[in-house]
Amino acid sequence: MRDPRETFTILEEAMSLTETSFIVRTAAAIVEMRGPLKVALGKEWATIGEKFGSNIHLRMQSCHALRYTPPNKTNAALEVRSTDGELVCRLSFRGTDPSQTERYDAERAANVHTRFARLAEEAS
């Protein structure tokens, strides 16, 4: 299990980038917040977004693993997984899917890959 403070630091770096979408999905609802996003760490929860505005609270102890998924007909993403391997949330890096030629940014895709590829093999 990854230390919650380390997970927070990686999420903070990822969410500071432009052209991101932070996505939380359930069977009944989808929340998408466009970034860059502020991230603040409390004792148990991280606040993503504006502290007194639109935000999502993420219980850091529930964030067992981070996994980078390279683009494959979708944008590259950073997935947060729970201890049972369930997807908690995803941060999508827009403009990194080479199949979307009108939106693709090769420099951005390389930058995202350099920053987060080390997380590609992390257990889910």
Kindly report the three-state secondary structure assignment for every residue of 71-106: CCCCCEEEEEECCCCCEEEEEEECCCCCCCCCCCCH
Q: Are 63 and 4 in contact (CB under 8 A)?
A: yes
* CATH number of this structure's domain 4-119: 3.40.1570.10
Give me the tens of pLDDT residue by residue for the chain, a chain 124 residues long. Answer: 678 888 899 999 999 999 999 999 989 999 999 999 999 999 999 999 998 889 999 999 888 899 999 998 899 999 999 988 899 999 999 999 999 989 999 999 999 999 999 998 764 4
Q: Are 97 and 70 in contact (CB under 8 A)?
A: no
Predicted model pTM: 0.89
| Residue ranges of E strands in 36-75 | 39-41, 45-49, 55-59, 65-69
Question: Could you tell me which of 118, 70, 113, 76 has the C-alpha nearest to residue 94?
Answer: 76
